[in-house]
Structure 1
Amino acid sequence: MQPEKEPKGKSFKNRLVLKSSLGKEILAEVLGTFIMIVLGCGCLAQAVLSRGLFGGIVTINVGFAMAVVMAIYVAGGISGGHINPAVTFAMCLYGRMKWFKLPFYVGAQFLGAFLGAAALFGIYYDGLMHFTGGKLLIEGENATAHIFATYPAPYLSLMNAFADQVVSTTFLILVVFAIFDSRNLGVPKGLEPIAVGLLVFVLSSSLGLNSGCAMNPARDLSPRLFTALAGWGFKVFTAGNNFWWIPVVGPLVGAAIGGFIYILVIEIHHPGPDPDFKAEPSEDKPEKHELSVVM
């Protein structure tokens, strides 16, 4: 048989294919976070703009959790589906991922969230304009800024708000570590995103009253910045007694605490070899990405 002739030049597909594994992971995180914001905040938009006719607290909590599930299914096999700087920070802090990847993942997550907010704004532009006669309001019964970012309840102090974000993210990371711990009960392969979705649902249902249970700096800060530029104004950063930094710093603190608690109370007591998570992949095997998350 004559050997097949190699095609001349590169095909269009081959020109598009990324050779860098980090590049693939960055794109996955951008797309995953984009999906989470469009579908998750879209549940809020539908409920708010219909004044409760086409949604409410149940559809918001279930819908946002399912948005997280879909995002992890899209990005999980490539980047781990973090879609949350707090998750990425915890993974680096406890040796699950190399530190040099942190700024790339976080940048991708912030970009994906910003693009997601922009896309949702475009989809519901006419609805937003109709809702308040062309006014984009931050406070009051006709407010729409909370579709994109979280805002505190009127009674909430900054100290209580910070504690709220720390505790909720502590639970998020603690349980995420448990879900992907193969020496614990674990979750059947391929169903991990479902377990994470259930976790997000129970957290938003139990700890969402104070300030919306963001637990994700990218999910909150990027859409907030978009609303500031899109017409709501920079008062989005001063509303709620300058609340904006709470969903950024609180989740990072909670991520460190949640990972520490799980490792101290559960993981280090496992009999047998070291945990499956490794900071450094072996030379002859590609780096293994463990799925993770969230909001």
Structure 2
Amino acid sequence: MSRRQLAGELISEAVAVAIIISIGCSAAAMYLLYDPSPYQNAYWGLCITWGLAVTVAIYATASVSGTHANPAVTLALALYRGFPWSRVIPYWAAQVLGGFVGAAIVLLLYGPVIDHYNDLQGMTRAEGGGAGVFFTAPGLAVTPLHALRNQVILTGFLVFGIFAITERYNEAAPGANGGALMIGLLVACIGASMGYLEGWAINPARDFGPRVFAWLTGWDRAALPAEHHYWWIPIVGPLIGGALGGAAYRWLILPFLPARQRALSAAPAIASERGAQ
């Protein structure tokens, strides 16, 4: 691979995550900062906005890098689909950078609104005022360790679904370019059903990139290390969940796909014909 091609892929990954964060965290700002919130009684709108942000990112960048846009997805692809291990760390770095840039765009848009919200609430950024715009935290009755388990499960669902949607032997998968929309809807469905648990990070770059940006722009210890040192949970949980979700698809579904079985059955015959020639 040429350096130019690798650079293009890394730029693509950063742009994809920047798109997702710019749109998704802007929706989070509208949910949190306004009273009445446009999403307070229409939570599905928030979820579908995050999902469509993922869809837009895929359509914009998939031809260059495949749009992993998530370190957990990159890890799963390296484990089960032959993605080169030498590109895993560079992809992760580009994805986190994209999250950082996306958060910067959100602050450019909503900075005055965040400050106004904090004034009304009698809070400061360092106390965590408006932090939910940028990064996740445990929800009602959720402890950090429970959140870790949740993130493993949620990201497992995500990667399992992505593998199903993109599997070439899955004859029920969406054709043409429909996969991007279905992956976006998958993200939205996870948020709609499980998002209140701890903000459905399901992506280390989605949480850590904006968290680092927030730490540098006034949120201080509210961002890093966060209450109960929560910062590592949306990193480790999704990485474990992505590996488990990919394994589940690899061992529970892929071996039994009829198209794959036909291809494996035909392979010896084709090899035999070529040998005879």
Common fold: TM-score over 0.5: yes
Superimposed CA distance per residue, residues 57-86 of structure 1 (whole angstroms, 9 cap, x where no aligned partner): 222111111111111111111111111000
Secondary structure of the 1:233 match is helix
Change (3 A) 1:138 1:201: farther
1:137–1:145 CA contact under 8 A, matched in 2: no
2:13–2:67 CA contact under 8 A, matched in 1: yes
Greater shift in the superposed pair: 231-240 or 130-139:
130-139
Which of 98, 118, 121 is matched with 1:132 structurally?
118
User: What letter is aligned with 2:174?
Assistant: V
> Which sections of structure 2, spanning at least 5 residues, go unmatched?
265-277
Secondary structure of the 2:263 match is coil
Change (3 A) 1:138 1:191: farther
Q: Which has the higher helix share?
A: 2
Whole-angstrom CA distance in 1 between matches of 2:195 and 2:168? 30
| 1:33 has 2:23 as partner | no
User: What letter is aligned with 1:234?
Assistant: R
Matches within 5 A, 1:12-51: 20-51=4-35
Whole-angstrom CA distance in 1 between matches of 2:227 and 2:118? 21
Whole-angstrom CA distance in 2 between matches of 1:237 and 1:24? 31
1:167–1:254 CA contact under 8 A, matched in 2: yes
Whole-angstrom CA distance in 2 between matches of 1:154 and 1:122? 30
Runs of 4+ aligned residues of structure 1 deviating over 3 Å after TM superposition are none
Whole-angstrom CA distance in 2 between matches of 1:262 and 1:196? 16
- 1:271 is aligned to 261
Give percent identity, aligned residues only: 33
Shift of 1:123: 1.0
TM-score in terms of structure 1 length = 0.82
- 1:15 is aligned to none
Matches within 5 A, 1:205-224: 205-224=192-211
Superimposed CA distance per residue, residues 234-254 of structure 1 (whole angstroms, 9 cap, x where no aligned partner): 232343421111110000100
TM-score in terms of structure 2 length = 0.87
Whole-angstrom CA distance in 1 between matches of 2:150 and 2:36? 26
User: What letter is aligned with 2:167?
Assistant: D
Whole-angstrom CA distance in 1 between matches of 2:112 and 2:9? 35
Shift of 1:128: 1.2
- 1:226 is aligned to 213
The CA RMSD measured in Å over matched residues stands at 1.7
Superimposed CA distance per residue, residues 234-281 of structure 1 (whole angstroms, 9 cap, x where no aligned partner): 23234342111111000010011101110101112330336xxxxxxx
Number of aligned residue pairs: give it: 254
1:168–1:213 CA contact under 8 A, matched in 2: yes
Whole-angstrom CA distance in 2 between matches of 1:53 and 1:166? 30
Whole-angstrom CA distance in 2 between matches of 1:166 and 1:155? 18
Superimposed CA distance per residue, residues 124-154 of structure 1 (whole angstroms, 9 cap, x where no aligned partner): 1111121122832655xxx310110001025
> Which sections of structure 1, spanning at least 5 residues, go unmatched?
1-17, 275-295
| 1:99 has 2:89 as partner | no
Superimposed CA distance per residue, residues 39-98 of structure 1 (whole angstroms, 9 cap, x where no aligned partner): 011101112121343333222111111111111111111111111000001001113311
Secondary structure of the 1:209 match is coil
1:215–1:251 CA contact under 8 A, matched in 2: yes
| 1:68 has 2:54 as partner | yes
1:48–1:144 CA contact under 8 A, matched in 2: yes
2:135–2:211 CA contact under 8 A, matched in 1: yes
Matches within 5 A, 1:1-295: 20-56=4-40, 57-133=43-119, 135-136=124-125, 138-139=127-128, 143-184=129-170, 185-269=172-256, 270-273=260-263
Whole-angstrom CA distance in 2 between matches of 1:149 and 1:132? 16
1:217–1:248 CA contact under 8 A, matched in 2: yes
Shift of 1:19: 7.0
